[in-house]
């Protein structure tokens, strides 16, 4: 369910680091908690994101939730498909429904993040 090569935040985002690029999304747990997603607000290419700071929001029928960046960097790509089909976030949050790609400006930051097993333990604990 939670890919081992991703890193995770306690705010339920993930990042996949490949070279100096980080691909960012929200976790399956996050989409499940939110329910049917109707809006995704994302920054534009060129925007700067900072680890732990909000860069956008996801809104479901029930609630709106901020998205916090797992890493710092500059946005190089935005998943434009989500604007017209936000429900993809409910269907494929760890794959096709990634949110943004960033060029990492502080690659060492990923050391602060949770591994897949730590994250699963964390959400298991949060559910109890």
Partner 1 sequence: MIPATALKRTPLNSVHRRSGARMVDFGGWDMPVQYTSLVEEHHAVRQRAGLFDVSHMGEIEIRGVEAFQLVDHVTPNSIADMKPGQAKYSALLYAHGCFVDDILVYKLSHEHFFLCVNASNQDKDYQHILAANRWNAEVDFASNRYAQLAIPGPKAEATLQKLTPATLASIRYYHFLDSEVAGTPARIARTGYTGEDVFEIFIPPDEAPRMWDAVLEAGAEFGIRPCGLGARNTLRLEAAMALYGHEIHATIDPFEAGLGRMVRFDKGDFIGRDALQARQQRGLQRKLIGFEMRGRGIGRDGYEVLSEGRPAGWVTSGSPSPTLGRNIGLCYLPAAEAEVGRTIEVVVRGQPVEAVTVATPFYKRAR
Compute how many residues bind partner 1; rule: CB under 8 A. Answer: 14
61 belongs to the binding site for partner 1 (CB under 8 A): yes
**Residue 63, burial from CB neighbour count under 10 angstroms (0-12, 13-18, 19+):** exposed
Question: In 5-104, where does DSSP find H-type helix?
Answer: 28-34, 81-84, 88-91
91 belongs to the binding site for partner 1 (CB under 8 A): no
Least separation in angstroms between CB 77 and partner 1 = 22
By CB under 8 A, the residues from 28 to 57 that bind partner 1 are: 32-33, 35-36, 38-39, 57
Q: Contact 73/47 with Cβ under 8 angstroms? A: no
Using the minimum distance from each CB to partner 1, give the nearer residue, 36 or 92. 36
Least separation in angstroms between CB 21 and partner 1 = 29
Binding region for partner 1 (CB under 8 A) = 32-33, 35-36, 38-39, 57, 59, 61-62, 64, 90, 127-128
């Amino acid at each position: 369910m939670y890919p081992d090569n991703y890193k995770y935040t306690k705010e339920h985002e993930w990042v996949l680091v490949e070279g100096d690029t980080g691909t960012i999304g929200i976790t399956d747990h996050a989409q499940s908690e939110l329910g049917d997603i109707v809006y995704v607000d994302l920054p534009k290419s060129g925007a700067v994101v900072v680890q732990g700071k909000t860069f956008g929001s996801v809104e479901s029928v029930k609630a709106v939730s901020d998205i916090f960046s797992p890493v710092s960097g500059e946005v190089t790509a935005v998943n434009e498909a989500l604007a017209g089909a936000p429900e993809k976030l409910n269907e494929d949050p760890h794959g096709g429904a990634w949110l943004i790609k960033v060029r990492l400006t502080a690659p060492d930051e990923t050391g602060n993040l949770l591994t897949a097993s730590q994250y699963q333990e964390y959400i298991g604990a949060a559910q109890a």
